[in-house]
Structure 1
């Protein structure tokens, strides 16, 4: 991926006042929130999380290029303004974010890399924070490269599954945010199961919690969460 970008995943719960509001107010939330975020310059996508998980009701993926020192500050200010205007209904549950950068272990661009600014999104999104052990960083680069080659080879056996690796060193508790997109969630589960047997797995300190979302247009989100029961 050319150029540095920031990608931010905001997990939100809908408060009790939202559920007790009239249906027309509930259905208006998602299109209005999407319009505010997009007008602020972010590439915005919505994902249904509940009832896949109780961690949140939905998540918002916002992406933007980073070209100057103030871009991150402006990005977070715009997100805060859009969400805070609706805090009577919205309760932040978690945030994960990081930067794109060229891979250390794969020199050539990958056809499996997610484009955050693509016009079309795949149905399923899975992401999680990731931390490696101290021992991993103390090994030589050639040793690490050898183990990563196995990891990459397994991933290539599932070409329909796309990945985005975000770097969070020093700005969040994790080192990376690992993001996947796919149309077949079962195939993704098979991929993860196979990766568990790779040598590099020994050097994983943490890769939870796992978040799974289902992409919807804002109008569909409105019908899911805003319709009369």
Structure 2
């Protein structure tokens, strides 16, 4: 693992199957799934498709695309490829949300965390939790030392839950939020304990927004899509 977090683009797109989709036969659905997955796999270095419904009622699936960004043109090329992969199926898939950003080294730690989620590892945990995040103006007006002290407390609590890994995306200037926070975990109740423990930290005072929150279930991509094959 590199000592510092490399720059990568991570894009999370949330979709619902439309009423037109449910009018299709099993064979037609399977064909759409195969073509969609093939296009998505060609669009980025890594793609996963997660089940969200019935964990949440307003979204069916989550498509997570990760791309190694090494050139200035890479993000534009990824977005173009993603559109080419999904646009032919927009009659059957409606987009409800898109969250994205870039990974980069943290200003609060000198080395890369052992709890950092690796999108390219090929090893996924059963659950993924993702949400947009923004700090208050007062947070950024504080001294670097004051912020570091509060983040040290935050980091210390996180280390008490070593099984839970995190991916932090920076989306300043790109979307309405400043960050996209992603957790990967084996145990939902353990994750709830972590979130509860973080609620009474000093840094919590400076949270402006951390909703909507999405909880997704992992299956291999083809298996996730197959959940919607039966009429």
Structure 2 length as normaliser, TM-score?
A: 0.95
In the alignment, which residue of structure 2 is the partner of 1:76? 79
CA spacing shift, 1:120–1:32, aligned 2, 3 Å: farther
Question: Alpha-carbon deviation of 1:164?
Answer: 0.4
1:106 aligns with 2:109: yes
Question: Alpha-carbon deviation of 1:69?
Answer: 1.4
Gaps of 5+ in 2: none
Question: Alpha-carbon deviation of 1:42?
Answer: 3.1
CA contact (8 A) 1:129 1:209 kept: yes
Question: Alpha-carbon deviation of 1:33?
Answer: 1.6
Distance, in Å, in 2 between the alignment partners of 1:175 and 1:52 is 26
Distance, in Å, in 2 between the alignment partners of 1:144 and 1:194 is 19
Deviations 1:76-105 (A, max 9, x none): 000001110111101000000000000011
1:162 aligns with 2:162: no
Question: Alpha-carbon deviation of 1:2?
Answer: 4.2
Q: Secondary structure of 1:62's match? A: strand
What is the root-mean-square deviation in Å for CA atoms of aligned residues?
1.1
1:4 aligns with 2:17: no
Structure 1 length as normaliser, TM-score?
A: 0.96
Gaps of 5+ in 1: none
Distance, in Å, in 2 between the alignment partners of 1:210 and 1:40 is 26
Give matches, 1:1-229, under 5 Å: 1-228=4-231
Distance, in Å, in 2 between the alignment partners of 1:112 and 1:3 is 15
Q: Secondary structure of 1:194's match? A: helix
Q: Give 4+ residue runs of structure 1 displaced > 4 Å after superposition.
A: none
Q: Secondary structure of 1:149's match? A: helix
